[in-house]
Each structure stands twice: as structure tokens, then as C-alpha cells.
Chains A and B, each alone.
Chain A
Amino acid sequence: MSALLEIRQLVTAYGKIEALKGVTLDVEQGSITCLLGPNGAGKTTLMMTVAGILRPKSGSIRLAGEEITGRPPHAIVAGGIALVPENRLVFPNMSVLENLQAGAYQRRDREIEADIGKLFERFPRLKERSGQNAGTLSGGEQQMLAVARALMSRPKLLLMDEPSLGLAPLVVEEIFRIIVQLHQDGVSIFLVEQNAHMALKVAQHFYLMEQGKVTFSGTPGALAEDEVIRRAYLGSAKA
């Protein structure tokens, strides 16, 4: 069986500068896959390209065997991929409830209200603040809102770009608890993370990206054994 997300030889450029220089990787159905890498390696570019915000120069992206390369972002969302972007990006002047409704914009079914109810059970803090403008929430609450908004589209695959960035350690743990829960509920997750220690506890497969190329692919065990990676990503990090 082929993987849920298959990326082959993907090249994305800003003008003449190639940020992705032929990236090839797979995200298996039902897995948590984690992408590590230094700043400027092209991780966010990869996420934005998969989400359809950036157009690749060449290469292919397939979701469940279907070619989705070059589709516009709203069609990607409709196809079953939702991105929780870096720095959260909620709608600051809209209420928490409206943020969730906007996340379901592609859907026409009658279960939207029910889904909002379920998400409010999962994120009770959001329910308390459902009438409040998203801009007034704390960083952690905004991150939860961004995740909840992405889930409103009922994605097959959830992309998360550095969900722990700039959050307090306790909040980070909560975010990862949510990631694990989502995974148990059957959502496949492709995660970009700097916090390798946390990622190591949840992910089944790792990729390392450097200067626009994938330079490592393997299990958490293989990752922990790689001397170079250990020193770069695990050595100095706090547990």
C-alpha cells in the first residue's frame, strides 16, 4: 500500500533561489511523522507548498494516490489536508466560534455544529471563551484554536508547523498531549518541530532536512543513535 502523503523530487523557489531542492518523503497513513531541521532549511516552505500557498517549480505531491500538485489552497483543504501554520495565525478580530466556523468553510454538511460541540469538549478553554475575539487569547489558547480550526475541515492529514514555538513548557506538554490524542483518534499528522525531545516521544518516523534537502530518514531509535544528529538536536536541548 502506498503512503498517505507522497512527496517526490519537490522543488520550490523564491525567484531564483531554490528553497526546496528536490525533496522526497512519505507520511504513512495513521502515523505521526516529524520533520526536523535547522532554521532556514526549508521546512516551512515545504509545509506551505503542500498546503498550496506556494507553487512548486517541479516535482509531485500525492495524497492517497491522487495528484494534488499545484492545486489552489482551498482545493487542498477540500481534498483533506489542513495546515496549522507557524505562529498560529488565527483570525484575531473574529470570535473563537467564528474562527471555528471559518475552518469548516469547505463543508456543506449538517454536522458542523456537532463537530464544534465535540471540539469544545476536547478544548474546554475554547468553549469558555467562544464569544471572545481570538486576538485576546493567550498564545497557548491561540495554538489550540488554530488546531481546532484545522480539525473543523475534517482532514485526513494534519500538518503542524512548529506548534510548540514560543509557548511555555507546560503548554507545550498540553499541545503534545493533544497531538497524541488526535493520533489515537485516527488522524495522520505531519509535524515540523524544533523541540526534538518532545517529538521523540510521539513520532514514529523522522526526517531531517538541511538546506532544502532531506538528509536523514528513520525511526526514533535510528535518530537517537545517529551521533551527529544527537549532538545537533538532542545534546543541548532541555528535556
Chain B
Amino acid sequence: MIFDLIQNTFDGLAMGASYALLAVGFTLVFGVLRRVNLSYGPAIMIGCYAATWVSLSFHSNVFALLGITILGSVLAGTYVERLCFAPHRQGSAIAAMVASFALWMQFEEAVTLVMPKHLYDFPPMFDGDPLAFGPLSLRAEALVMLSCALAICFALHRMLYRSRFGLAVRAVIDAPLAAQLAGINVPRVLLLVFLLASGIGGLAGWLIASTHTQVTPMLGMWSTLKGLLAMMIGGLGSLPGAVIGGLALGVLEAHSQWFLGPQARDLIAYLLMFVLLAWWPRWMTTQSAS
């Protein structure tokens, strides 16, 4: 029993590490643009499909695919930013959210047109068995994923507080009008933040695909919803919060699945999101991007 609990927590942390990475990208966009990008996951899916296609055509190394995945995600992200976020910069946040959903539909249909099979294999990062700690086991991918999440969180923090670009990003978050008056090219900063988030999403997508050793069209919706949930649990807009939110979501899901089954797992996650939004709105809004 106690081993089950510990093993579940391990599995949850492993899963949570991928949620954390997804949430970091999501949070970056939300924290700076105050917009929700529903196409975040589908853009990642485009990257993963591009890599899958390369892998099937050229049998390339799994680490070479990382570059393809990131490139694909960033290109798809550029398309999303130009069509959904740049035009609605002054306008409604909801319009941008709906527009990003419209592109989600495009992405999903586009991948099924080009690669119609329901499931494609993705090469694994490592061959061999999971690492064993006595009766417990943990996959090496989970450790890689967790280290990546922490490293990226740390690097983003450094970028925000130690670099010229980070200064501009924080200025835009703090007072967008003043940032323009200070001579900061705000549209460009927003585009770059968006592309950075897409790149992080691409890394997350590659890690997830090579951990699950498969890609399906569901990856898009899955990534968006998990990233969104983890971001919310972490308090909307805080980078360390996103990592903690992702891990918490993973552990919560692992335990609720073990005790109550997969549907209850999703139900509890959404319930948490609903309750957080409805009854703790201050939790959501007071956690600024710092």
C-alpha cells in the first residue's frame, strides 16, 4: 500500500514534469500578453508531426528530431501570433482566444490530411528498462523532463532579471504604454516572447513524444488543456508557480486515477480549475508575473 502511494507519487511527478514544461510556455504568453493561446498545444503537435515525418523519411537520430520539433513549433507559433495575437493587441482578449481556437482546427485538420494514420511511432530517448530504486521504478525520461523544466524556469528567470531583453519584457508587463514611451518596440517584444514560448513548447513536445514513443492528433488538445490547468493551479502568470502547478497536477492525477479511475482523474482536475477560478479569483489575479 505504502509502496503504491510512493510509486504513484513518482509516476505523478514524472507526468507532472511534462505538465510543468507545458505550463511554463503557457505562462510566459499569459504573463506578458494577458492572452490565452488555445493553439499552444496544436502548434506543438505540428512540431511533433514534422519531426515524426522526418523520422519516418530519413530515420534520423532522436536528438536531431529535437531541432525539427522546436523549429516546427516556432513556425506554427509565428503563424498563430501573426493571425491571432498581433491583430488583437489593443482589442479583446476573447477575440484572440477564439481566433487561436480557429487555428487549432486548421492545425488538426492539416496534420490528418498529411499524415492520416491515427497513431505514429516516435523514437524513444533511451532504450532499456526504467531505473529501479528497490521496489520502486522511475523512467529516466522523467528525470530528463524534470531537469529540463527546472533548468528552463531558472534560465527564464535569469533572462528576465539579468538581460536587456528581460528588462524590456518586464517593462511591457509592468506598464505597456510607458514601455512604448521609453522606446521599447513593444510589438517586437511580444512576438519574441511568443516565439520563445513556442520553442519551449517544442522542447516539451519532443520530450513528451519520445517518452510516450508515439504521436496522435490528440496531442494538441491534450497539451493545451494540461498546460492551461497546470498554469491555473500554479496561479496564472508565475513561472515557479507553473512548475509547481504542473507537478501538483501530475501527482493529483496519478493518485485520483489509482483510487478512482481515469474519468474521475479528469473530473477532479477540471473541478479544481473551476473552483480556483470561481472561488479564488484573487489567487488568480494577485500572482503577477514575477
Contact = CB atoms under 8 A, between A and B. Distances in A.
Contact of B182 (A52, A77, A93): A77
A98 B171 CA distance: 9
A140 to B, nearest CB: 18
Interface stretch (A32-40, A101-109, A169-177, A204-212): A101-109
A72 B184 CA distance: 10
Interface string B174-189: 1101111111111100
Contacts of B181: 51, 53, 73, 77, 82-83, 85, 89, 150
Interface string A206-221: 0000000000000000
Interface residues of B, number: 20
Nearest to A135: B174
Contacts of B167: 94, 98, 101-102, 105
B190 interface: no
A78 to B, nearest CB: 6
Contacts, number: 71
Contacts of A90: 175, 178
Given A102-B167, A102-B168, A105-B168, A91 B178 contact: yes
Contacts of A101: 167
Contacts of B139: none
A3 B7 CA distance: 77
A93 B177 contact: no
B174 A92 contact: yes
Interface of B: 164, 167-168, 170-171, 174-175, 177-187, 288, 290
Given A72-B187, A74-B185, A85-B181, 10 more contacts: A73-B180, A74-B180, A82-B183, A89-B175, A89-B181, A90-B175, A92-B174, A98-B167, A102-B168, A106-B183
